[in-house]
């Protein structure tokens, strides 16, 4: 489906099976975490990510928008790190983006956070049309949402450290 940037292969971030299925379908390196799309800064709490005032000010300047930000999991307890291991892939960090597109944020409000890697097989060009996505995935995904030809770029990625 179209995200705020390019077509993405989306699934519920809090559904471990959905996330693992996307890794398999995309043939993605299992050590590389996905970006998680959120509806608001409050969604960071779901993942035990706490931000200080300086980081919050920074995020409010760049979000909503096409910038994905890597943030550390704040809760150092092993059980918390284990709970989200399927997302952080042993990095102890998670990447988030708050989309600019209002319609897409409305979807996120209803679904909750989504992982949304680009709609392509790892190492191949991103799909900019639904037809290109179908060539990659055929019937291996549950459904397609056609948003026409997209002319956007992938998001930028920055890391915030404590």
Work out the burial of residue 30: count CB atoms within 10 Å of its CB; fewer than 13 is exposed, 13-18 middle, 19 or more buried.
Answer: exposed
Q: pLDDT tens digits, residue range 54-106?
A: 999 999 999 999 999 999 988 777 787 789 999 999 998 999 999 998 888 99
- Tell me whether residue 5 is in a domain: no
pLDDT value, residue 162 = 64
- Tell me whether residue 66 is in a domain: yes
DSSP designation for 38: -
- Residue 63: other Cβ atoms inside 10 A: 19
Q: What is the 3-state secondary structure of 44-67?
A: HHHHCCCCCHHHHHHHHHHCCCCE
pLDDT value, residue 137 = 97
Q: What CATH number has the domain bearing residue 112?
A: 3.90.870.10
Q: pLDDT tens digits, residue range 27-44?
A: 999 999 999 999 999 999
- Tell me whether residue 68 is in a domain: yes
Give this prediction's pTM. 0.92
- Tell me whether residue 6 is in a domain: no
- Tell me whether residue 73 is in a domain: yes
128: containing domain: 11-159
- Tell me whether residue 4 is in a domain: no
Name the domain count of the chain. 1
- Tell me whether residue 2 is in a domain: no
DSSP designation for 15: -
Q: pLDDT tens digits, residue range 61-71?
A: 999 999 999 99
Q: Which residue has the tokens 């550390």?
A: 72
**Residue 124: both structure tokens together:** 């191949």
How many whole angstroms separate alpha carbon 92 and alpha carbon 83?
11
- Tell me whether residue 125 is in a domain: yes
């Amino acid at each position: 489906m179209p995200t705020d940037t390019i077509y993405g292969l989306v699934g519920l971030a809090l559904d471990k099976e959905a996330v693992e299925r996307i890794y398999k379908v995309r043939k993605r390196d299992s050590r590389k975490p996905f970006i998680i799309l959120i509806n608001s800064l409050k969604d960071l709490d779901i993942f035990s990510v706490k931000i200080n005032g300086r980081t919050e000010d920074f995020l409010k300047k760049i979000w909503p928008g096409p910038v994905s930000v890597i943030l550390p999991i704040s809760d150092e307890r092993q059980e918390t790190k284990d709970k989200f291991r399927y997302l952080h892939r042993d990095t102890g960090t998670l990447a988030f983006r708050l989309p600019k597109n209002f319609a897409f944020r409305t979807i996120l409000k209803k679904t909750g956070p989504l992982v949304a890697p680009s709609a392509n097989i790892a190492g191949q060009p991103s799909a900019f049309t639904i037809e290109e996505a179908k060539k990659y995935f055929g019937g291996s995904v549950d459904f397609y949402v056609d948003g026409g030809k997209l002319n956007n770029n992938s998001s930028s990625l920055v890391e915030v450290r404590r």
